[in-house]
Amino acid sequence: PGSSPCRSVIMVAKAVGVELNKKLLNLQAGEHLKPEFLKINPQHTIPTLVDNGFALWESRAILVYLVEKYGKTDSLYPKCPKKRALINQRLYFDMGTLYQSFANYYYPQVFAKAPADPEAFKKIEAAFEFLNTFLEGQTYVAGDSLTVADIALLASVSTFEVAKFDISKYDNVSRWYENAKKVTPGWDENWAGCLE
């Protein structure tokens, strides 16, 4: 529940009507390093999806897979190459810039009791500036309707909120965030995971 990438998968599954059989792993106890899990995912990361024997990890790949396999429409991940490319760019931005900035700043403090690094905090602010720019005049991050990019970024931004990062300084992000919370299936479960 505390993992933004896991919560994004939960929300997309809800959006496409897939009932997940969730398994909670205790990472601190090393459950993700047990032989039975390594057999499924040798990279031993979460989330990992097993769908009728097909194993897949990396949350953003799982989001796309769920929509392509189970979506009744392609609205969350349209077939148009240009729309899809923009969604992919935003997914990679989430993975490599926004969520990575969270991990670089907060994880050392939480897991290693390290002091806050002001340089890492500047990278969070820069990431939010980029997101704010992407959202200029836009209701959604990649087009004119909700997509998997919005859902992935919603999971990340909500994690920043629960960590007490001040999102209100970014007008476009704040406006998008308020709307995304209302229109995204599974938001309540996402927020409950954040609070947990």
- Taking Cα atoms as reference points, which of 152, 44, 170 lies closest to residue 97? 152
Containing H/E element for 49? strand 48-51
Q: Is position 3 annotated as part of the catalytic site?
A: yes
Burial class (CB in 10 A: 0-12, 13-18, 19+), 85: exposed
17: Cβ contacts below 8 Å, ≥ 6 apart:
70, 72
Task: Specify whether the CB–CB gap between 62 and 49 falls below 8 A.
Answer: yes
Task: Point out the catalytic residue in the list 3, 59, 101, 158.
Answer: 3
Under DSSP, the state recorded for 54 is E
Distance CA 107, CA 104 (A): 6
For 57, the 3-state DSSP assignment is strand
How far is 71 from 46, CA to CA, in rounded Å? 23
| Residues annotated as catalytic (active site), given as ranges | 3
